Amino acid sequence: MGKIVRIAGSLVEASGMDGHSIYELVRVGKENLLGEIIRLRNDVASIQVYEETTGLKPGEPVDGTGMPLSVELGPGVLKSIYDGVQRPLELIKEASGNFIARGITVSSIDKKKKWDFAPLKKKGDKVSQGDIIAEIPETKIIKNRVLVPYKVNGTIDWIASSGKYTVEEVICKVKDSDGKVYEIKSSHKWPIRKPRPFMKKLPPEIPLISGQRIFDTFFPLVKGGTAAIPGGFGTGKTVSQHQLAKWVDADIIVYIGCGERGNEMTEVLQEFPHLQDPVNKLPLMEKTSMIANTSNMPVAAREASVYTGMTIAEYYRDMGYDAALMADSTSRWAEAMREISSRLEEMPGEEGYPAHLASRLAEFYERAGRVETLGSGKRYGSVSVIGAVSPPGGDFSEPVTQNTLKITRVFWALDSSLADRRHFPAINWLTSYSLYKDKVSKWFEKNVSKDWMILRDDAMGILQKESELKEIVQLVGLDALPERERAVLEVARMLREDFLQQNAFHDVDTYCPLEKQYKMLSIILKFNESSQMALSKGQTISEIMKSSVIDDISKMKYMDEKAFASNYRKMEEKVEEIKGAKSQLDVR
């Protein structure tokens, strides 16, 4: 047992720590505060404490647990709301009231609840690491699949019959070739900083559909991919994260509120239980696990929260599920690293961030991916990571944003000027990009339409042309532009206002299916084609813009799928009429 010799905020140094290891979990002081060893020098250990250290005194004891900081995995992880070190907030409230008492210890998952157990194997079956031996209905949507633990291979010596069991009861025994018997329970612990193993990583080819037009159509993300949403204050990072958490076609959602303001997390906690999964029509919490580590909580726990969330996501990935992890925001995580690093008196890097910032970010994002899981049968799962970045003053040149962009393959750049004009999502289509675009083109061509990517590229071309024309307009005025170029500006306006803008709070527009996205884009580009043809026949842009289809296009995003399907053909006919319409000059 060691003794405290120095205290600097959340950093505590203790002497007499011979025999303890780096990243070992320890109990600090008389109140048994939770901490983790992050540096060892001879017998002096530097410990980051995950709780408030006020009142802690030199000379108080430090006791090691002999194990690293780990999360408890098993039935009951879903529908739970944890703090940064996987303590359920509801149980903490029951035990200590509205404020988290120091040194409080509560079970991460319910040890007394009995779960329905259905074995999928029988005595005498040969099994290997990662094989599914049983299923437990964890929620109405998700079945928790009990897996053979890592590095365990052999023959089932005994397996429980169907019935109800707690997570601590032995449900299976496996005997290996040496005669050693392993007892398997439906729960286990896993160190948060250690990636869970898999068979092999697969190429990114299947898009992660979100129902958000600018993401799905223009800058797609894949299952197992990584994306960054950087933006200044008020640009809509959190709302974008919420939208993605609500609507992405993932089996599991892990939402990490990492250092965010308490009112924002409160909004999430109040809203999510009332949201419906668009596929199953059941509450979204049935497939969600949330980690709430607000800005007023201990900074060290913030640093651990992203690893806690990632390990939970990997746990469900190994069962064969597609998990999506939302981290809001990684800048607060980096600030926690900076604070801890400064207390360790390490040499600071750029803007005071630790020199290991880039490697820590890479270590986190590299745990994403679509994989073939361990096990004798072919089973695939994925973890997709979407990290919000909060650069001070919206400066994308700062270290966290730049290092994140080196790692992630999708860049959704939020723009303050778009947000000021009330254009949401405020994603700048000229600076954003997706390196998965070509990877998923075959999927879109097969599952939506063969000309999906052609339409997407045509639309991007129009938006880029608009940017060039706006510079000319600022110099010479709109009236100096030729009719064709004025038509391009009108079509670009339609793309911006009628397609890219999406109302997260509208019952219909909050989610847009791929088929509707394709048809909306198609009708706007058909209008562009027809208007250019009409101009070649002598019509003016002012005559073309009198067409009633302009109003129909502006309303189509608010039409439900049934109304849109019935109106789509009428809009096509009106667009076709523009081609054949005669100029008023010709009529006279």
For the segment 401-412, what is each residue's pLDDT rounded down to a tens digit? 999 999 999 999
- Return the CATH number of the domain spanning residue range 200-435: 3.40.50.300
Contacts with 165 (C-beta within 8 Å, 6 or more apart), sequence order: 114, 115, 117, 171, 186
Whether the pLDDT of residue 318 is over 50: the answer is yes
End-to-end CA distance of the chain: 100
pLDDT: which is higher, 369 or 376: 369
Q: What is the pLDDT of residue 588?
A: 35
- Local structure of residue 376 (DSSP, 8 states): S
Q: What is the pLDDT of residue 584?
A: 45
Instruction: Write the DSSP string, 378-412.
Output: --EEEEEEEEEE--GGG-TTSHHHHHHHHH-SEE-
Residue 395 banded pLDDT, cuts 50, 70, 90: confident
Question: What is the per-residue pLDDT across 45-82, written as a single tens digit (0 to 9) for each?
Answer: 999 998 888 889 999 999 999 999 999 999 999 999 99
- Return the CATH number of the domain spanning residue range 452-587: 1.10.1140.10
Which residue, 216, 425, 196, 233, is CA-closest to 329?
A: 233
Strand partners, 230: 389
Whether the CB-CB separation of 379 and 373 falls below 8 Å is answered with yes
Mean pLDDT for 318-331 is 94
Q: Which CATH class is domain 1-68?
A: mainly beta
Read off the tokens for 85.
Answer: 């070190």
Question: What is the per-residue pLDDT across 355-365, written as a single tens digit (0 to 9) for each?
Answer: 999 999 999 99
pLDDT: which is higher, 267 or 109: 109
Q: What is the pLDDT of residue 278?
A: 72
Would you say the CATH fold of 452-587 matches that of 115-186? no
Residue 585 banded pLDDT, cuts 50, 70, 90: very low
Whether the pLDDT of residue 267 is over 50: the answer is yes
Distance between CA atoms of residues 536 and 424, nearest Å? 35
Provide the residue ranges of all domains of the chain, joining segments of one domain with +. Answer: 1-68, 115-186, 200-435, 452-587
Whether the CB-CB separation of 571 and 556 falls below 8 Å is answered with yes
- Local structure of residue 462 (DSSP, 8 states): H
pTM listed for this prediction = 0.93
Q: Which phi and psi angles does 241 have, rounded to 5°? A: -65, -40
Question: What is the per-residue pLDDT across 88-130, written as a single tens digit (0 to 9) for each?
Answer: 988 888 888 777 777 788 889 999 999 999 999 999 999 999 9
Residue 388 banded pLDDT, cuts 50, 70, 90: very high
Residue 280 banded pLDDT, cuts 50, 70, 90: confident
Architecture of the domain spanning 115-186: Beta Barrel (2.40)
